[in-house]
Amino acid sequence: MHEITDFMTRDHRSCDACLVAVEAAVEGGAWERAGTEFARFRDAMLNHFSVEESVLFPRFEERTGMYRGPTQVMRGEHVQMRQLLAAAETALAERDADDYMGNAETLLIMMQQHNVKEENVLYPMCDQHLADQLENLLPELRAQIDEHLTSPSR
């Protein structure tokens, strides 16, 4: 069973789709739409990080005793991606397509590398070590992801 892997991977793909929508708007010079789509993307990414950092990672660390392992690496990458999100947002606000695209490309590469590590290493480890907690853990993950999807800012 790969329930955590499957669920969290679906959220990765949802975030990816949001980024594609921003890029299309920027390329078309539709700055207002780009801003709206970027807010959706940023909020989805920050929510994903929050779900991992407040729910999934602490459960994994508590169960395995691994506090300086893969979750520490992922948290560090979240910090870097938050910085890239902020830089991209600034470029977008300034309607600087080149600067935005540069930051977005760096962010996309980082997201792809990060997602591969989570989807192929960390999430399967979570599925293995947290299998007996799925009954409570999956609804908690789902509630936080779904709450974001239905929030008024979205």
* Residue pLDDT tens, the chain, 154 long: 699 999 999 999 999 999 999 999 999 999 999 999 999 999 999 999 999 999 999 999 999 999 999 999 999 999 999 999 999 999 999 999 999 999 999 999 999 999 999 999 999 999 999 999 999 999 999 999 887 666 554 4
Q: Which residues contact 91 (CB under 8 A, 6 or more apart)?
A: 99, 100, 102, 103
Q: Which domains does the chain have, with CATH numbers?
A: 3-150 (1.20.120.520)
| Cα–Cα distance measured from residue 26 to residue 72, given in angstroms and rounded to the nearest whole number | 34
* Spatial contact of 76 and 127, defined as CB atoms under 8 Å apart: no
Q: Is 10 helix (H, G, I), strand (E, B) or coil?
A: helix
| Cα–Cα distance measured from residue 71 to residue 54, given in angstroms and rounded to the nearest whole number | 12
| Cα–Cα distance measured from residue 33 to residue 107, given in angstroms and rounded to the nearest whole number | 20
